Structure 1
């Protein structure tokens, strides 16, 4: 989610400042202890590597697309190598490693990127790299190793929790905004459209004939619109998943509609599945309106694991060239809003093929929306 991603950006920006402070600390101590080196040239090379990598790491972690597992592994590996070469650079009996506290930068990067698991693993790796080369193990060395593991785990847990809470708060705000918008639209529909449909139904029943049939159609649309509003009001953005295949199969109650689905449930989030079904129903409404009341239509659902694909096909005369663009310019929402708009809001694509063979809509909708996946990555 955008908020969780923004928090991660801020945390890595803060880590960049911490890295510079740790670098200055490491450089200062190595200058102060310059007489302790058996190979001064190697010590200078190690410090130069630390300076260069601090710059590279700050630039790389500052760009979200570069915060990959490979970057974290290289960061951690460099810290381990500098710790392991310390016995050769300083000689046996050394007390502090060449990088010193500078290695905490790699530890914190792993914790920020991969949560408490990443922090714990990075802490274990650094602790082992610090303890194994030592000939004499002091209590302070064991304490430092323990602090590395503890710090990585706690920092990782706190950062992941912060991002999760931010994602949950953003989801709650989005749900509250959607609920308020649904209530506003429901009032507008009730005050206008529903009352007009009810009036047409009543007057048509009174006059009879063709107007009676028109009134019956108005009554059917009024009932469908009321049920849609009730369904929207009872739906939660974070509702449980349900079977999209079963929901689409229910459309076979419409005249001339044939639905083909996989032989297994196709589970999706309730909000996403509801929008997919609504888009398919909008396509079928167009078939009834432009092809015929009982015109055949075929709905095909395919499960592609990471996404679902739905096609709606008829054998009508097709859509006249430029007709969709004209309808959108006139403010008609049948295709631009009810079909393409719904699928676009789900992060999917909606394509149409039309000609003398008929019209076929093809939808591709991800099983899990990108913002939801981001929130789960930090759990």
Structure 2
């Protein structure tokens, strides 16, 4: 049973218990009522509505804000009927309303459906009706409003906590399934593709210059493939978190050396993907312009408020003004594929280069804030 289903079933159980309590209070104090028939009719409506909401809230398709609003309206009307049934003097003296604890049901429903803010709004609205019925802010009315607020806050907090635990459990299940699939694929790749690449790397040198190049490429692809099938990859969802190291490890090879922290570099999926794409563009520039013998180093630094990725090579380098000239002539590799991506993430790119001294591209991206807590997302542990 999902967390949602369990919470809505709990609301149904609360309704039944609260309705029985309301009936018991009405039987105990009916002799003071001005309209016993009306009181019985209100209790009948409460009983019918209890049965209807228990049935409706069992179906996820029916758990809409329209139903929650109707729940609030019916409860408010039943509460207002107290003003006709219970004499004014009794209300001022603190006599219980017809709904009693049953009035808390829509507050709890708002807490489960929309969180604490909606629960607080519903509690204050129903509390205001209770105070208005009594005409004065007696202790019983104020205490009832406080209890409604506490119920909404408590259930709203527990609902958010339970949904978070359910999401983490789902992620753990998906991770386990992904790990099993990766292991299955890794066995097949190891028995076939990796062995062929290893053979090409070993025998390529015997075929002359073209064979040497083929051997080098086979070695790079073998290293990249081994890194790929060895990752502890985790499934991601929209707005989910991923480890940046997982996206960068496939780029490691014989001429690309990757240095990352020991702990996970946790970032939102979109941010991590854009950073990885910028790094890939920087490495593409190394392969295209730095020279056939150039080696690149990728350094990842996970700082408190930002993540810094530096791509440095020992190639032929270039004059600093060539970056602006390339952008002006329509070659936008650095301007868009690197700087544009990082700038869209709120970061900055610093490029240091000179002829015969290689190129160093430093990309600094601020760690995104958690919208719920307004704090920076935590670093990996």
Change (3 A) 1:170 1:102: same
Could you tell me which residue of structure 1 aligns to residue 10 of structure 2? 14
Residues 218-248 of structure 1 deviation map (CA, whole Å, 9 limit, x = unaligned): 5564354235335x44667431232756766
Deviation at 1:134, TM superposition (A): 0.8
Number of equivalenced pairs = 250
Q: Is the 8 A contact 2:131 2:138 kept in 1?
A: no
Q: 1:137 to 1:65 in 2, by over 3 A?
A: same
- The answer to whether 1:23 aligns with 2:56 is no
Structure 1 pair 168/219, CA: closer, same or farther in 2 (3 Å)?
same
Equivalent-residue separation in structure 2 for 1:235 and 1:62 (angstroms): 33
- Structure ID, larger Rg: 2
Deviation at 1:205, TM superposition (A): 4.0
Counterpart of 2:82 in structure 1 is 86
Q: Which residue is equivalent to 2:68?
A: 72
CA-to-aligned-CA distance 1:322-368 (integer Å, 9 cap, x gap) = xxxxxxxxxxxxxxxxxxxxxxxxxxxxxxxxxxxxxxxxxxxxxxx
CA–CA distance in structure 2, aligned partners of residues 235 and 59 of structure 1: 39
Shift in CA distance, 113/180, structure 1 to aligned 2, threshold 3 Å: same
Counterpart position of 2:115: 115
Q: Note if contact 2:179-2:233 (Cα within 8 Å) is conserved in structure 1.
A: no
Aligned: 1:190 with 2:219: no
TM-score (norm 2): 0.56
Q: Deviations over 1:175-203 (max 9, x none)?
A: 35434543554355334421222113433
| Deviation for aligned residue 1:213 | 8.4
Partner residue of 1:242? 271
Alignment check: 8 A CA contact 1:118 1:156 kept: no
SS in 2 for 1:33: helix
- Give 5+ residue unaligned stretches, structure 2: 243-266, 286-381
Matches within 5 A, 1:1-379: 6-93=2-89, 94=91, 95-179=95-179, 181-183=181-183, 185-207=185-207, 218-219=218-219, 221-229=221-229, 232-233=231-232, 237=236, 238-239=241-242, 240=267, 241-242=270-271
Q: Deviations over 1:26-83 (max 9, x none)?
A: 2232233322222333223212211221111111111112111221121112111221
**Structure 1: segments with no counterpart, 5+ residues:** 255-379
Q: Please say if residues 127 and 141 of structure 2, whose CA atoms lie closer than 8 Å, have aligned partners that are also in contact.
A: no
Query: Contact 1:111–1:119 at 8 Å: present in 2 too?
Result: yes
CA–CA separation in structure 2 for the residues paired with 1:127 and 1:246: 51
In the alignment, is the contact (CA less than 8 A) between 1:116 and 1:160 conserved in 2? no
When residues 227 and 114 of structure 1 are mapped into structure 2, their CA distance, relative to the original with a 3 A threshold, is same
Q: Which sits farther off after the overlay, 9-18 or 244-253?
A: 244-253
Could you tell me how far apart the structure 1 residues matched to 2:217 and 2:74 are?
A: 73
Task: Using the TM superposition, give the Cα deviation of residue 123 of structure 1 relative to its aligned residue in structure 2, in angstroms.
Answer: 1.7
Q: Is the 8 A contact 1:204 1:215 kept in 2?
A: yes
Mark the CA change 1:22 to 1:234 in structure 2 (over 3 Å): closer, same or farther. Answer: closer
Query: Greater CA deviation, 55-64 or 19-28?
Result: 19-28
Partner of 1:302: none
CA–CA distance in structure 2, aligned partners of residues 76 and 235 of structure 1: 42
- Distance in structure 1 (CA, Å) of the matches to 2:145 and 2:216: 79
Q: TM-score, normalised by structure 1?
A: 0.57
How far, CA to CA, are the matches of 1:229 and 1:52 in structure 2? 59
User: What CA deviation, in whole Å up to 9, does each residue of 1:136-161 have, x standing for no partner?
Assistant: 44323322221111121112111221
Aligned position for 2:321: none
CA distance in 1, matches of 2:20, 2:234: 55
